[in-house]
Amino acid sequence: MANMAFERLILLVYLLSSLAQGATVTVCPGGCDYSSIKVAIFAASPGDVVEVQSGRYYDHLNIQKRIELRGVDTGKGMPILDATGSGSPVTISADGVVVEGLRLMNGGPDSAGILVLSDECIIRKNDASNNYIGIHLLGSKNCTVQGNIASGNLEHGLRLDGCSGNMIYENVVMNNFLGNAFDDGTNFWENGMVGNRYGDFDGPDEGCRDDNLDGLCDSSREIPGGSNRDRFPIAGG
């Protein structure tokens, strides 16, 4: 009887764990659960995954519930969210949101490819190039920004205003008009082992020497705006 009760407990834990992971709904131009990302997010419940397949989408998203928005390259390239020069392609207003694997472009004036207004979010492996700001955290805490590209933006690649406790690493920020990075708060621009690659600090002529050939600059890089430093900036290839 004791063994049976234990087995039932294990089964209950497994079922609760499965429920906690949420459902996955798919978005693509045709043949998926939805053709609109905005409609899919509206229909999703907290904890669900909204999986966006290859294609070009013109939704302006404001994520107000804890979901994972995941882009999937189905063979036709990274899915694109195009703001057509008006507003931000993605705004995150809820805590704990994950945004991964998307290309965000053509954000309008005073906007960003990804605008984060909440805490404990994960922004990972996106391409936020060709906007006003690539990725902008505003008053956010304890978020992770990892492995993104933010290049060719009219203002900053990565910008943090009034933020604390966020970790930013393995990102590539190059050729942004006002600067590749800005941070007036207290945040971590590396994870203790590796930082970010900056287009204005990834070669010897810019102060990045890699004499031991470990792929990291031998000196740290100051982050404009406050007192933050990236201790392990990535050297150019």
When pLDDT is cut at 50, 70 and 90, the band that residue 59 belongs to is confident
- Reply yes or no on whether the pLDDT at 227 is more than 80: yes
* Structural domains in the chain plus CATH codes: 25-230 (2.160.20.10)
Q: The whole model's pTM is what?
A: 0.90
As given in the structure block, the two tokens for residue 84 are: 């057509």
- Reply yes or no on whether the pLDDT at 9 is more than 70: no
Share of the chain above pLDDT 70, in %: 91
Per-residue pLDDT tens for 75-94? 999 999 999 999 999 999 99
> How big, in percent rounded to 5, are the helix, strand and coil portions of the chain?
15, 35, 50
